[in-house]
Amino acid sequence: MSTTVDSHPRWAPRFTSRQHDDENAAWLGIALGVAFTVCFVTGVVSHLIQDPGSWFHWPARPAGLYRVNQGLHVTTGVVAVPLLIVKLWVVFPKLFEWPPFRSVAQAVERLALVPLVGGAVFLLVTGVGNVNIWRPYDFSFRTGHYAAAWIVMGALVVHVAAKWAVTRDVVAARLRGQSPPASTEAAPAVEGERPGGLSRRAFLGTTAAASGALALFTVGQTFAPLRSLALLAPRRPDSGPQGFPVNRTAESVGLTDVDLADYRLEVVGDGVATPLSLTYDDLAAMPQHEATLPIACVEGWSTNQRWQGVRVRDLLERAGARSGAEATVVALHDNPRQRTSELSSGQASDPDTLLALRVNDEVLVADHGFPARLIGPNRPGVHQTKWVARLEVR
Ligand code: HEM
Ligand SMILES: Nc1nc2c(c(=O)[nH]1)N[C@H]1C(S)=C(S)[C@@H](COP(=O)(O)O)O[C@H]1N2
Ligand SMILES: [Mo]
């Protein structure tokens, strides 16, 4: 519905730009719908990998799939920021339409805007904040962001249903090379509308350029060819000790100088016939394998490195593990955050799942998990456990 003179009450502010129209709202709405849907699907996948139901199985291959998933999530999320701001500005005059609704259906549709807009702003603010390590709230980011995603997507279904006809008319007309029907055209918002100003093409083009620029300056955090452009990425994939980033330092978990005399890697649990307790030298004496695999952080950055170490499946075999065994990887530190991760049977038996001792032919530094870190294909970064002390096999 257009903002026409008779539906615009006297007390409302005057909106004089001709960009406040249904066609702009329709195009921006389509772009936002696509961005939010990609964000939602990739977000739910990431959630399920970390909290799988018994029905959910995440494969070990293709090795870089999680990297693409999370790169898409964060990039489409960032792209949505200018789109949402401009869309809210375009439709803002509708807030003052009078009467506020003419039917029950319209009341429902307009009420659904509260969770839709509130939730969308919440998702974008917490999401962008999280990747910049800005979390000025007490609740868990994952819990809040996840709940908001479902609320927003529910409200979005209502919103899309309500706006379907108008949007379809705009798109269908443009595809036929015609102007959209009068009902969707820019109605003069109020008397005194300024003629001129930006054309629609320039207005939408500028918005697209803003989104494109954000994407371009972010995606280099995970897409190596563009890494020199990753100006907006909080972490550059090529900076840090041994040439790649560190989130959780050894110092922050009190593991700056692990004494190799005391270090043992234990392979234990119901799933093994002979529990192992291996020194660092024992590990170094086992056959070493190499795999080029990414660390793909849930926060969107990723980095591909050449890792060398012992195959987890060799360790399991040496411990007489049952076939199809699964394992929990446990770190040396007491801090419970990210101390453990799970290896599915597919990952545990994958030839590229390593207990890495070296990276790019150098011994791991403390910040990258010395003495040994897990690295495996298609795992989120949080599951690439550093400073590994134990494999609990079942
Ligand atoms: C546009 C709407 C968005 C939707 C629908 C959405 C949805 C989701 C969902 C469902 C998850 C999984 C949460 C969980 O694991 O429990 C998630 C995770 C995440 N999202 Fe979003 N998100 C959106 C925007 C953003 C934005 C703009 C960013 C950052 C630029 C972002 C960054 C993240 C991060 C870093 C995670 C991983 C959290 C973790 O596992 O620690 N999200 N998102
Ligand atoms: N033991 C342990 N391993 C860990 C973490 C941790 O906090 N503790 N952080 C993880 C996260 S979130 C990522 S993305 C990768 C790479 O993180 P880094 O940059 O801190 O090395 O290591 C993972 N391994
Ligand atoms: Mo991470």
110 C-beta closer than 6 A to ligand 2: no
- 155 touches ligand 1 (CB under 6 Å): no
What pLDDT score does 195 carry?
62
Only one residue has tokens 């502010």, namely 13
For a ligand 1 pocket test, name from 34, 70, 145 the mutation site with the most ligand atoms within 8 angstroms of its C-beta: 145
Q: Is 28 in the pocket of ligand 2 (CB under 6 A)?
A: no
Tell me, what's the pLDDT at 233?
79
Q: Which two tokens stand for residue 272?
A: 């093994």
CB of 279 closer than 6 angstroms to any ligand 2 atom: no
What residues of the chain score a pLDDT lower than 70? 1-6, 182-196
Q: For ligand 1, atom 24, name the residue with the nearest CA.
A: 77
Phi and psi (nearest 5°) for 143?
-65, -45
Q: Could you give the CA distance from residue 330 to residue 342 in angstroms, rounded to a whole number?
A: 9
Q: What is the pTM of this model?
A: 0.93
Name 308's bridge partners. 290, 358
Q: Is the CB of 385 under 6 A from ligand 2?
A: yes
Q: Specify the pLDDT at position 192.
A: 52
Burial degree of 185 (CB within 10 A; 0-12, 13-18, 19+): middle
pLDDT at 2: 45
Q: Give pLDDT, residue 183.
A: 61
77 CA closest ligand 1 atom index: 27
Q: What is the dihedral of CA 336, 338, 344, 345, to 10 degrees?
A: -70
Domains of the chain by start residue, with CATH: 22-229 (1.20.950), 241-393 (3.90.420.10)
Q: Phi and psi at residue 60, in whole multiples of 5°?
A: -80, -15
Cβ-based neighbour number of residue 270 at 10 Å: 9
Q: For position 9, what pLDDT does the model report? A: 83
Residue nearest to atom 20 of ligand 1 (CA): 127
Residue 291 CB neighbour total at 10 angstroms:
20
Tell me, using a 6 A CB cutoff, whether residue 151 lines ligand 1: no
Q: How far is the CA of 76 from the centre of ligand 1 (A)?
A: 10
What is the whole-number distance in angstroms between the Cα of residue 300 and the centre of ligand 1? 10
Q: Is the CB of 73 under 6 A from ligand 1?
A: yes
| CA dihedral sign of residues 123, 126, 130, 132 | positive
Give the Cα-Cα-Cα angle 213, 216, 220 (nearest 5 degrees): 150
